[in-house]
Amino acid sequence: MSRIGNAEIEIPAGVELKIEAGNLVKSKGPKGEMIQQIDPEMLIEQDGAIVRVKRPTEQKRHKAMHGLSRTLIANMVQGVHEGFSIQLELVGVGYRANNTGQLLELALGFSHPVFFYVPHEVKVEAETKKGSNPIVTLTSCDKQLVGQIAAKIRAFRKPEPYKGKGIKFVGEQIRRKAGKTAG
């Protein structure tokens, strides 16, 4: 029995949720609009400000889609109401980040700067304070898109285990290794 799939989704004030034919779910709120196609076999019931997702049978596929469908709808509601944000920290000497609109320019110790265009659905902000590492903040109503963009930016220079240099998520613990010992 899926505990996640059985949980109810409460729709906060200021958020509209419409379920159309074929399980096309549309949500609209202060942070934006989202459209998501949910598996057509799942049964979605809207009862005022409460949404429930039910599965038609106990098949393995339906059990797998039950929790996923409920989570996708819950993320849509939370995204248009509050939004999602991920912060990346650039650790390393000379590592810098600047943004001009949606164009992110990163200096990561290569012989050239790295330019990355962020889609217009995601708001990007680069912040550099004296004496601390540069921080890139990504904000959007789409949780999947924010995570994917953050992963692509992190892939330019993953944190290495010896000195910890690279791009890491804020609060992420890097597993460190001991270097060579002088013999």
Q: List per-block mean pLDDT (blocks of 10 residues) for the chain, which spans 183 residues.
A: 83 91 91 92 91 91 92 94 95 92 93 95 93 94 95 95 93 89 68
- Domain boundary residue among 28, 51, 81? 81
119 in a domain, yes or no?
A: yes
**Nearest C-alpha neighbor of 12 from the set 61, 63, 48:** 48
**Nearest C-alpha neighbor of 105 from the set 92, 94, 116:** 116
174 in a domain, yes or no?
A: no
Asked whether residue 62 falls in the same domain as residue 123, the answer is no
How far apart CA 11 and CA 21 sit, in angstroms, is 20
Task: Note the pLDDT of residue 179.
Answer: 85
- Domain boundary residue among 24, 57, 81? 81
C-alpha distances (whole Å) from 113 to each of 95, 104, 105, 119, 152 are 10, 10, 7, 19, 16
Task: Note the pLDDT of residue 2.
Answer: 60
Task: Note the pLDDT of residue 30.
Answer: 93
Asked whether residue 117 falls in the same domain as residue 150, the answer is yes
C-alpha distances (whole Å) from 155 to each of 9, 74, 96, 108, 167 are 34, 28, 16, 12, 8
Asked whether residue 92 falls in the same domain as residue 70, the answer is no
28 in a domain, yes or no?
A: yes
26 in a domain, yes or no?
A: yes
106 in a domain, yes or no?
A: yes
Task: Note the pLDDT of residue 72.
Answer: 94
Count of the separate structural domains present in the chain: 2
Asked whether residue 91 falls in the same domain as residue 26, the answer is no
183 in a domain, yes or no?
A: no
Task: Note the pLDDT of residue 180.
Answer: 85
- The pTM of this model reads 0.89
Task: Note the pLDDT of residue 82.
Answer: 94
Q: Are 176 and 164 in contact (CB under 8 A)?
A: yes
Q: Are 18 and 25 in contact (CB under 8 A)?
A: yes
Asked whether residue 88 falls in the same domain as residue 63, the answer is no
Tell me, what CATH number does 88's domain have?
3.90.930.12
Asked whether residue 148 falls in the same domain as residue 112, the answer is yes
Say which residues have a Cβ less than 8 Å from residue 174's Cβ, sequence separation at least 6: 159, 161, 164, 168
Asked whether residue 91 falls in the same domain as residue 165, the answer is yes
Asked whether residue 76 falls in the same domain as residue 100, the answer is no
Give the structural domain span for 48.
3-81
Asked whether residue 77 falls in the same domain as residue 91, the answer is no
176 in a domain, yes or no?
A: no
161 in a domain, yes or no?
A: yes
How far apart CA 141 and CA 29 sit, in angstroms, is 10
- Domain boundary residue among 55, 81, 107? 81
Tokens describing residue 12: 């906060």
